[in-house]
Amino acid sequence: MGRLFDLRWIIAILFGIYGVVLLVLGIGFETDADRVKTGGLNVNLWVGIAMLALAAFFAIWAAVRPVTVPDEAK
């Protein structure tokens, strides 16, 4: 029951969803006008990659160190 309310999984899922959206926008829908605004950098692509990396970090952290409920609290 303790894993059900672990916020690390919720954060990982949300960052994963937003990261995939930004990655797709950065790969497929980036225009030259957008790159001029950001100084030649594909911001959607890089932020999408960073968000996916952060999602992976939270998912690995939640999987490796799961929430444990002490016996006296049951």
Domain positions in the chain are: 6-65
pLDDT digits (tens, 9 = 90+) for 36-61: 998 989 999 999 999 999 999 999 99
Which of 19, 23, 4, 17 has its CA nearest to residue 62?
4
- pLDDT score, position 62: 93
Rounded Cα distance between 28 and 18, Å, is: 15
What is the average pLDDT across 17-44? Answer: 91
Which of 21, 24, 19 has its CA nearest to residue 47?
19
pTM, full prediction:
0.83
pLDDT band at 33 (very low <50, low <70, confident <90, very high): confident
Token pair belonging to 38: 């950001």
